[in-house]
Chain A
Amino acid sequence: MASVTDSGKARARPKHWAGAITRSSEARILLVAVILSAYFEAVNHDFLLTNASLQNLSQFIAPAAIIACGEIMLMIGGEIDLSAGMVFAFAPFIVHFANDAGLPAWASVLVGVLAAAAVGFVNGALTVYLRIPSFVTTLGTLFFVNGFTLTISQGTPVAPPEDAGFASIFGAWGYSEIIWAVVIALFMHVLLRHTRWGLHTVAAGANPLGASEAGIQINRLKLGNFIIAAVFAGFTGILEGFRITSIDPQAGGNQIMFLAVAAAVIGGTPLAGGSGTIIGGLIGAAVLGILNDGFTLIGINAFTFNMILGAAILVAMIFNIHVTRLARKGDL
């Protein structure tokens, strides 16, 4: 009996490991990270294997990685949160005010995270129910939240809640931030790859109409992912406040938001939606950190670093689009 076969077009070729590496964006970016680390370690032996430089590196990677986790969930659905950097600066001020009002440190952090969630809810509700493109929605909340933070802070930095033990868990201890980043990334990886929420997020990003015909509630998913993104941005701001023992209204900003988006893109999550990888985003953030630290140790200044960062994003994107296309055709 005839059967539905079309071996000419679709073919599984697991035997080509080189092809497998180019197909898996995580493996690709991990390879880049290892090569870069080896190179910088070779030219400067203080790069990785001292406690100070390792801590320094981890503190660059962690914020970008945590915020990237939220951005990736949105980017899979074809959305973006531009306001993340401003929520980063806003949430710790709420923590400060809540603590001033007499709440204990843990409750203050909770209030700060909830305030961030509220911004995420507004981002999501405007995008989903009023059908405003998220680029515009979050551009609006970017300026609004920034202005709001500057107003309530009167432009001056304040101190985080004073509770040494609590503070060391929430960012003050050298490696606590990177531990948070890895735990959050693992959690989000499981959410994306091993739960219906993650699977439906990918399905809705790949085929919104088809996903709704299958009965998936796309609006609820998107709203939830906007809240997740804002919560991570706010939480990262709180961690950083504890780490540098100062809450600055000018902290974070668009720099950290774009670093997070860059980490996501370099890690293999396209802006167009339909696919994405949390682990890739984590390694993408690591690559950015390695580039930043490595070039700083060699003596290249911050201006030049931005040029390198820009080139890295472009190379990653060109590679993702064109190599993945070749791989899909089965030519690799």
Chain B
Amino acid sequence: MADAREALRVEDIVKRFGAVTALNGVSLTLADGEILGILGDNGAGKSTLMKILTGFHQQSSGKVFVRGEETLLRSVDHARSLGIECVYQDLALANSLSIYHNMFLNREIVYPGPVRLLNNRAMRKRAAECLEDIGVNVPSVDLPVEKLSGGQRQAIAVARAVNSDARILLLDEPLAAMGAREAGLIIDLIMRLKQKGNISIVMIMHNYAQTLDIADRVMLMQRGHVTYQRDSASTSVAELMDIVRREYRAMRANGQ
């Protein structure tokens, strides 16, 4: 039996798509309440790793442990039932629907009985409570999400995942295409989730400085491998840049 404080462990994952090996022996562990930032170039395998953790793809070989139990994540629904939630880059929000309908999308609260009418009052109330709980301020949960800014929309998408009792939250580039102020709001939100505890977060990131600010630990992926892993406190942007630069020069020298 593994450490009870371990949320997620991945051992030696390989994922092939035909002749292409997207992941070539990736291992990682995620402790309860920890924030792990994954950095790496396009094509390094970050998204493939994410899609295995969401149950969207299944690994060619290797093992996944959820809270110590070895588990093959068969489908997105299966991963979700184990408390693994992903916030995709496109946020999966329906713009014309209200904030509270979005937060309960496909998990709507309905009145008992055969007709199963939507219990909008309960959803509205719970959505407002959830947003207040994690410190997301919106004028009203009745607003359609198309009226929100990019940062607020990202916050709603994160809130939706939290609202569905996520224990392991996967964030795919949560700060992509955001200005400094908006990014700050999301960083604050992630830090608040961490303080509240009970949730572990894996983030795919591009910006090194932001990653070191938020994450407890950073992981660098290159060409399907994990090439570097360190506590954020014991590394620096310069060191990370240096590794990437060396790799890049080596590739150029090999004429790849």
Residues of A whose CB lies within 8 Å of any CB of B are 1-7, 9-12, 190, 194-196, 199-200, 202-203, 205-207, 209-211, 213-216, 274-275, 328, 330
Determine how close the nearest CB of chain B comes to the CB of A262; give it in whole angstroms.
Answer: 22
CB<8 Å pairs between A and B, sample of 30 = A1-B135, A3-B137, A3-B185, A4-B188, A6-B149, A6-B182, A6-B185, A7-B139, A10-B147, A10-B149, A12-B140, A190-B117, A194-B120, A195-B115, A195-B116, A199-B101, A199-B105, A203-B94, A203-B105, A206-B97, A209-B90, A210-B90, A210-B94, A211-B92, A213-B92, A214-B105, A215-B76, A275-B96, A328-B147, A330-B147
Identify which of A9, A11, A203 contacts B97 (C-beta below 8 A).
A203
Q: Tell whether B66 is near chain A: CB-to-CB under 8 Å.
A: no
Instruction: Assess whether B185 is in contact with A4, with CB atoms less than 8 Å apart.
Output: yes
A274→B140 contact, CB < 8 A: no
Contacting residues, chain B, for A209 (C-beta < 8 A):
90, 92
Q: By the criterion CB–CB under 8 Å, are A10 and B152 in contact?
A: yes
Name the contact of B106 in the complex, choosing from A3, A190, A206, A214 (C-beta under 8 A): A214
Residues of B within 8 A of A211 (CB): 92, 94, 105-106
Contact of B118 with A195 in the complex, beta carbons under 8 Å: yes
Q: Do B185 and A2 have beta carbons less than 8 Å apart?
A: yes
Chain A residue, CB-CB nearest to B119: A194
Given known pairs A9-B148, A215-B76, the reply for A210 and B91 (CB within 8 Å) is: yes
B186 touches A194 (CB 8 A): no
Check A196 against B90 for contact (C-beta < 8 Å): no
Question: Which chain B residues border A190 with CB–CB below 8 Å?
Answer: 117
Which of B80, B106, B188 has the most chain A CB atoms inside 10 A of its CB?
B106
Query: Within the complex, which residue of B92, B118, B142, B151 is in contact with A196, where a contact is CB–CB below 8 Å?
Result: B118
Whether, in the assembled complex, B93 has its beta carbon less than 8 Å from a beta carbon of chain A, the answer is yes
B6 at the interface (CB under 8 A from A): no
Q: How far is the CA of A198 from the CA of B93 in the complex (A)?
A: 16
B95 interface residue per 8 A CB criterion: yes
Residue numbers in A under 8 Å from B94 (CB-CB): 202-203, 206-207, 210-211, 274
Q: In the complex, which residues of chain B have a beta carbon less than 8 angstroms from the beta carbon of A12?
A: 139-140, 142-143
On chain B, the residues within 8 Å of A328 by CB distance are: 146-147
B136 part of interface (Cβ distance < 8 Å): yes
Bound CA span A240–B97, Å: 37
Known: A4-B188, A10-B148, A10-B152. A207 touches B93 (CB 8 A): yes
Question: Among residues 43 to 94 in chain B, which have CB atoms less than 8 Å away from a CB atom of chain A?
Answer: 76-77, 80, 88, 90-94
Q: Is B28 engaged at the interface, CB distance under 8 Å to the other chain? A: no
* CA of A154 to CA of B74, assembled, Å: 56
Question: Once bound together, how far apart are the Cα atoms of A1 and B196, in whole Å?
Answer: 14
Residue of A194, A206, A213 touching B96 (CB-CB under 8 A): A206
Q: Nearest 5 A-B pairs (CB), nearest first? A: A210-B92, A203-B94, A206-B94, A5-B137, A4-B155
A274, closest chain B residue (CB): B96
CA distance A301 to B148 in the complex (A): 49
Which residues from chain B contact A3 at a C-beta distance below 8 Å?
135-137, 185, 188
